[in-house]
Amino acid sequence: MGVLLAHQEKTAAAVQELCEAVRLNPDDPDNRVRLAECHAAGSAWSEAVASLQAARRLNPVSADICAHLGFCYANQGQWTNATIQLRNAEALDLENGNDLQMAALAYDALHETPLAVEHYEQFLATAQQQGLDPSFLSDFADRLKKLKASLSPVFLKVSEPKSYSEQSLREALRTRLSAEELAMIKLPLTSTPEMRRWAEQLTQGATNDLQRAQKLYEALTRHLDVGPGGSRTAQETFIDWEKPEASFRCQEYARLYVALARDLNLKAFFVMVERDYEDRPVFHACAGVLIDGQALLVDPSYRWFGVPHKQFVFEDDYRAVVDQLNQTHDLVQNRLAVKLQPDSALSQFNLALELMGHEQWDDARRVLQTALKLDSECFGAQVALGILDRHDGQLEVAVTRFRKASQLNPREGGIHFELAVALYDSKRFKEARDEFQICLKNQPEPDLVDDIRHAIAEINERIGAD
């Protein structure tokens, strides 16, 4: 949304000033567009849409307003409304840099990569002709470069993990679990006849495995998420797929893709990613497909069919069960994960953190000692130790640990939340607000979002809006 969206955070003062401008000159649509930009910069999409709709009533033939609406609807997950507004904008003629910028951002948010590439190219060419600051354009040029790269799959060499049938997987689980415990396990990658029919429908016209794998990816990547998801199995993700309010995380995309791909007789596996294609540390999952002895990483979250992540592991189905249990944030399920794979540092850290959440501090300390023997340098170690330090009143030590964890995994929203809380408890309110805001941008757990917004509002009351 223009220079404002690219360079300025939404502030209460800016909204107040623009609301006053609208009051003084209610017939000026531009002020309403600027107000919408402020709302959008703070992810207040409903308010942004309302302001833009008022602007459109004042100027119904503005391509700029239609493009802005397309962008806002896209970020609300409203594919149809977004597409209608973008088509309206194009019919009215996207001719200036701001219009083209909005259309590019909107198509990007809609996961329409070829159209996003086309409009980013047009925007950059127009902006350069208009003499806009190259430093302002650099982020858009970088985004264009990444999108263009994502249109080409990269084949990788991997070792095929052990394959399981459903029966052999249950037998493997039974060697470590009691009958009662086994009954609590949901196999995360199994399919249903309805899922098989859907997979066949999505890939109609494909004549080989590569085409089938790509068509399946294209169908999943078009889903628009409007918030964080959870830890659904493939079957649970399929059931929720068409629900307007549903959103999914990388693990859920991966599980659904693997189940559907296997329905098409493709060799597909759940993949844990430790460093992404830009060599950034991540805690991430995608799907992997083996075609003619080579591997493709299929990643709807990164919107790249054949993304060349730097460090990853093709998981067998036994470990995929453990991964699923680790995502549940349930004490009983976390204990099962440790029982199935006691040498997994991740499982041990997850159990320690869940015990802390239940304020079972003595048990948490014992489990944490086991986890630290397995891996004392990972971000999970720093988070767990930091939570213990905060519980023990050692706030400065906790802040140091959380900062180290955020450096090891800067895109994990939960780490920034823990750091923000420690800073808040230390009365370092401005730093705490910064971390809360970073957390909101990195998909925190759904039940934290309201708490984070309330904390930011409370800090603003204490020290004033930034």
Ordered domains of the chain (ranges, CATH): 2-150 (1.25.40.10), 166-323 (3.10.620.30), 377-463 (1.25.40.10)
Query: Residue 227 pLDDT more than 60?
Result: no
The model's confidence at residue 58, banded by pLDDT at 50, 70 and 90, is: very high
| Tokens 């991740």, residue located | 346
Q: What is the pLDDT of residues 356-389, one digit of tens each?
A: 999 999 999 999 999 999 999 999 999 999 999 9
The model's confidence at residue 449, banded by pLDDT at 50, 70 and 90, is: confident
Q: CA of 360: how far to CAs of 216, 353, 367, 386, 422, in Å?
A: 44, 10, 11, 16, 20
State the maximum Cα–Cα separation within the chain, in Å, rounded to a whole number.
Answer: 74
| Tokens 């309206």, residue located | 88
What is the CB-side half-sphere exposure of residue 8 using CA atoms within 13 A? 17
Q: What is the pLDDT of residues 120-150, one digit of tens each?
A: 999 999 998 888 888 889 999 999 999 999 9
Q: What distance in Å separates the CA atoms of residue 216 and residue 313, rounded to the nearest whole number?
A: 22
Alpha-carbon dihedral angle through residues 324, 344, 418, 443, given to the nearest 10 degrees: -30
The pLDDT score that the predictor gives to residue 12 is 65
pTM of the complete model: 0.86
The model's confidence at residue 316, banded by pLDDT at 50, 70 and 90, is: very high
CA-nearest of 107, 94, 37 to 66 is 94
Q: What distance in Å separates the CA atoms of residue 420 and residue 436, rounded to the nearest whole number?
A: 6
The pLDDT score that the predictor gives to residue 49 is 95
The pLDDT score that the predictor gives to residue 228 is 52
**Is residue 59 within 8 Å of 53, Cβ to Cβ?**
no
**Is residue 58 within 8 Å of 29, Cβ to Cβ?**
yes
Q: Using N-to-C axis directions, what is the helix angle for 250-263 and 209-221, rounded to 10°?
A: 140
Query: Residue 448 pLDDT more than 50?
Result: yes
Query: Residue 5 pLDDT more than 70?
Result: no
CA-nearest of 60, 53, 125 to 96 is 125
**Is residue 233 within 8 Å of 186, Cβ to Cβ?**
yes
What is the DSSP code string of 87-144?
HHHHHT---SHHHHHHHHHHHHHTT-HHHHHHHHHHHHHHHHHTT--HHHHHHHHHHH
Percent of the chain exceeding pLDDT 70 equals 96
**Is residue 124 within 8 Å of 137, Cβ to Cβ?**
yes
Q: Provide the residue count of the chain.
A: 466
Percent of the chain exceeding pLDDT 90 equals 75
Query: Residue 272 pLDDT more than 50?
Result: yes
**Is residue 76 within 8 Å of 268, Cβ to Cβ?**
no
Q: What is the pLDDT of residues 20-54, one digit of tens each?
A: 888 888 899 999 998 998 888 877 889 999 999 99
Query: Residue 317 pLDDT more than 70?
Result: yes
